[in-house]
Structure 1
């Protein structure tokens, strides 16, 4: 049975500083690199035929560290902006606590956690879903259907979108889902009908 593994990148510099990061291309912290090494150690014994990641360096470096840990650094890697983090628009770069004071905690909570309400000049989770899922259906699902094992290193909201699709999570329930940084989630997939047989965090 083919396996799909998704991993959220390790801690970034702006995660550490409690800033809205979105599509700003920030580096991993030392802790983020440690989380990526830890993810790789948890994936010891797994084999991947291809890897997918975003166009942002924090996800790319996470993937590189993982593939080096499992001694598969030379598998094909596909980078695409469809897997980028959600664009937080005018909030990008702002400290989350200061933003709550400026706009009100309730408004910021709505921007962060609602499914279809976007921050000013940014994307909602629904917008993110609408670019992630067509890319997954076109580029990744057929490879799983052919029996390939795939790893995706991406971001909290692009991966939450994928989880919605794979696990049939409703828009109401996805607001409660948080993906930990650097912890692989493994899907075992029925090759014939593409249904999920099992899923687990390592």
Structure 2
């Protein structure tokens, strides 16, 4: 049996403000830091001790992973970082209030942009939130990444992405890096983002497009998958370590856009 733990980062400053974040590199709120530490405590209480960890290169995921491992007493665990685990690029929506976008474009278009498989938001133009391309990898096991060349393995900055685009960049990393850790018997932690984790869950569970529309990943709720020798889930959908809290938090994610911005806790 192989064990995979999926975790969306803790609350970020833009989560708290109800903004589309995407590739914008924002930090955790104090509440997000607490959430990450609580996730580490849940792992320790459940006896889930990762021997390998993977994150995106975005600060909110990197810091969440560090706080989780510290709280679990596992600060020595190597953490691989790669842009292919980044959140989807939300194009022209990045930095915009979700409720404003909902009001401007309506429920159907808003839901397609947030939750469909192959519909991307309008592409970004130059904005203050447009990040520079991150390095192709920042893993301790591959400390000297190749220069960006525009190949699928290198991070040419996207102007917008659908979930299909996220899936196309994520799955090679799953097969080449996360899969080998699991096959070697290492309990493996992946700390990423709403849409990179939706793409991975869709792959693991074989979700159809209609099922994907209803898939919401809450922040800082550890999701355990036990996998067989083919890395297929023993139980479809995995199991949240705190199912009741995860269900409530997922409902809040589904309701984003229908609430206004709020201050951090």
| 1:160 match | 198
Higher share of residues assigned helix: 1
Distance 2:211 2:231 in 1: 23
Distance 1:135 1:28 in 2: 25
Q: Offset at 1:115? A: 1.1
- 1:94 is paired with a residue whose SS is coil
Pick from 211, 217, 222: which aligns with 1:173? 211
Q: Offset at 1:112? A: 1.2
1:104 aligns with 2:106: yes
- 2:234 is paired with a residue whose SS is strand
Structure-to-structure mapping, 1:32-51, within 5 angstroms: 32-44=32-44, 45-51=47-53
Higher share of residues assigned strand: 1
| TM-score normalised per structure 1 | 0.95
Q: Which runs of 4+ in 1 moved over 3 A?
A: none
Distance 1:119 1:138 in 2: 29
Q: Offset at 1:102? A: 2.7
| 2:232 match | 195
- 1:195 is paired with a residue whose SS is coil
Structure 1: give runs of 5+ residues left out of the alignment.
none
User: Once the two structures are superposed, what CA deviation does each residue of 1:151-191 show, in whole Å capped at 9, x if it has no partner?
Assistant: 0000000000000011111122011011111110011122x
Q: Offset at 1:105? A: 3.3
How much is the aligned-residue C-alpha RMSD, in angstroms? Answer: 1.1
Pick from 63, 66, 75: which aligns with 1:64? 66
- 1:43 is paired with a residue whose SS is helix
User: Once the two structures are superposed, what CA deviation does each residue of 1:7-51 show, in whole Å capped at 9, x if it has no partner?
Assistant: 001111111111100010011111111111111111012221110
Structure 2: give runs of 5+ residues left out of the alignment.
124-159, 242-265
| 1:183 match | 221
Distance 1:85 1:127 in 2: 11
Distance 2:19 2:169 in 1: 24
The total of aligned residue pairs comes to 201
Q: Offset at 1:140? A: 1.0
Q: Offset at 1:135? A: 1.0
- 2:5 is paired with a residue whose SS is strand
Distance 1:87 1:36 in 2: 23
| TM-score normalised per structure 2 | 0.73
Report which stretch shifted further, 6-15 or 134-143: 134-143
